Structure 1
Amino acid sequence: MIARNVTVAGRRTSLRLEPEMWDALLEIGTRENLSLHQLCTEVNRHRGESSLTASIRAYALAYFRAAATERGHRSAGHGGLPRRRAD
């Protein structure tokens, strides 16, 4: 776990996330032209009752799941194995 300070809605806070999660957030920010602080502020704005850390994890998962369409999956060269038929 890595702790980093971020500014969320103008207030500084500390988040502890896995290195892969920090990488995912930075990638999302690059794709969406948002700073880490802006991205965390947006997640915070829509998070509801869960913690900011949990909301960030759920957001990143949902973001990449939405991006992982069949078309995108094939164009990235993934999914080369034939599908098994359901008997």
Structure 2
Amino acid sequence: MRKVTPVGGEIGFLSDLMTQATSDVPVSRTVLLGGQRVSVRLEASIWDGLIDIGERQAKAVEELCAEIEARRAGIPLSTAIRVFVLQYFRERTEAV
């Protein structure tokens, strides 16, 4: 049986797989909320989205997290952040 090498060679293929895998690996970061340090564990892609939103709105990540914290309704902060990022980009996509 003949082995088929993906476009870009095996190294390129493995690099692409590693990039995809690491973008969804949970990353813990500490944010200051209400004067207390809170550890939040999110996928790297969610952190990237939150940073992007902060840049678009000229707000720090901690400021966004504080706003999300203030309006979350009994759900974990990490879940509320994921929902916030998803809704933000969904609304921008639907507007186009």
Equivalents in 1 of 2:35, 2:61: separation in Å?
A: 13
Question: Which residue number in structure 2 is paired with residue 4 of structure 1?
Answer: 29
Structure 2 gaps, min length 5: 1-25
TM-score, normalized by length of structure 1?
0.77
- C-alpha distance in structure 2 between counterparts of 1:28 and 1:10, whole Å: 23
- Percentage of identical aligned residues: 35
Off by >3 Å, runs of 4+ in structure 1: none
Q: Which runs of 5+ in 1 are unaligned?
A: 73-87
Larger Rg: 2
- Give the alignment's Cα RMSD to 1 decimal: 1.0
Measured against aligned partners, the alpha-carbon deviations of 1:33-61 in whole angstroms (never above 9, x if no partner) come to 11010000000000011010000000110
For residues 44 and 89 of structure 2, what CA distance do their matches in structure 1 show?
16
Q: How many residue pairs were aligned?
A: 71
One of 41, 48, 51 as aligned partner of 1:23? 48
Superposition map of 1:1-87 within 5 A:
1-69=26-94, 72=96
